Amino acid sequence: MILRREFPTTLILLLLLIGALTGCTTADVAQSPTTTPTPITPPPATTKAPPTATGLPPTETPSPEPTGEPEETGEPSPTPTREPTATLYPEDWKNWPVIPTVSEEMRELYQRGINRGNDPHSFSVVGDCNSLTDYFLTVFDSPSQYELGSEYEDLQETINQFHGAFSRDRYAVGGGFNAATVFSPLMADPENCEAGENPLECEFRLSKPSIVIISLGTNWANSPAETHREYLGYIVEFALENNAVPILSTKADNMESDHSINQVIVEVAQEYDVPLWNFWAAADPLPNHGLVDDGFHLTYSHNYFDDPERMESGWPVRNLTALQALDAVWRAVSNYDED
């Protein structure tokens, strides 16, 4: 079993206390793209630390750098499973393909998960406001809300495979969520999650996913990229421990100004040999990189993928390429036969 390190109590409390006034909140997604984000108030801190890594309160504009570093427990950390290839180096992530490839290890992992009770018709999402059911993937449970066109009609099989999973409640997604927040029981849905359960644990218990899309990073702009890398690694480890195939996603924005978050996202994908959906590469050619003037909300249009004009907006491109990524991974892992 892959082991995670525990964090000192002082660091946990500091992370829970840190907050910001503006963010990518649930309300922001429902507003028009030009609306100014509404300030949010972080929840109060608790003196009871979660049993594992915990996280920041939900914030879009991330907090200052926390003091201290995660402590080692003396247990070995997971060993990276793949070295850079001649064509896919993390530093060249902007040129990585949009749609991921799938390793033999992920095929074996998927089958092991199915054998142990994971639902082949269920996928999970771990993310921030760009992954809320208001706009992300939900349309694929409503045939009148999307148009594949002849070019993408083969994706209908994947839509049928995961029918119902596109629009169901997501317990590891929230406005302002980041890679640390999903480990905090304070952020779990009190009506559906068990006492002491964090959003990630709650999501996996309720959905039993065979595949999980992990799309985070916008809410970490003012904190170190390496810290995001640490927490993202914990999320990947959690998925692997539960035999669900993780799909990591780059982000369209560059809130941190140096693309360092996307850099570490790609590094984590390669270290753990998990699929990468390079959404940045899909959004980059769009007008204003598919973003409105605030630099992180996506431009909106209906999900008619056969309409070139609509495909100049960020949201239909996000939904289409996410579906393509899910399709590519599902087809690869479900067609694998164990010896």
Q: Tell whether the model's pLDDT for residue 195 goes beyond 80.
A: yes
| Residue 74 counted as domain residue | no
| Residue 44 counted as domain residue | no
Alpha-helical (H) ranges within the chain are: 9-17, 26-30, 104-115, 156-161, 199-207, 225-241, 260-271, 279-283, 314-334
8 secondary structure, DSSP code: -
What is the spatial distance between Cα 7 and Cα 24, in angstroms, rounded to a whole number?
Answer: 27
| Residue 218 counted as domain residue | yes
Q: Which amino acid is at 16?
A: L
| Residue 81 counted as domain residue | no
Q: Could you report the per-residue pLDDT of 234-268, keeping only the tens digit for each? A: 999 999 999 999 999 999 999 999 999 999 999 99
* CATH of residue 278: 3.40.50.1110
Give the up-direction half-sphere exposure of residue 212: CA atoms within 13 A in the CB hemisphere: 32
| Residue 50 counted as domain residue | no
Higher pLDDT, 66 or 197: 197
* pLDDT band, very low/low/confident/very high, at 87 (cuts 50, 70, 90): low
User: In whole numbers, what is the pLDDT of the chain averaged over residues?
Assistant: 81
Domain that holds residue 217: 99-334
| Residue 45 counted as domain residue | no
What is the spatial distance between Cα 64 and Cα 117, in angstroms, rounded to a whole number?
Answer: 41
So what's the pLDDT on residue 55? 34
| Residue 109 counted as domain residue | yes
Count of domains in the chain? 1
Question: Which residues, listed in sequence order, are joined to residue 123 by a DSSP beta bridge?
Answer: 211
Q: Tell whether the model's pLDDT for residue 22 goes beyond 80.
A: no
User: In the chain, what's the furthest Cα-to-Cα distance?
Assistant: 56
- The pTM assigned to this predicted structure is 0.80
| Residue 17 counted as domain residue | no
So what's the pLDDT on residue 89? 83
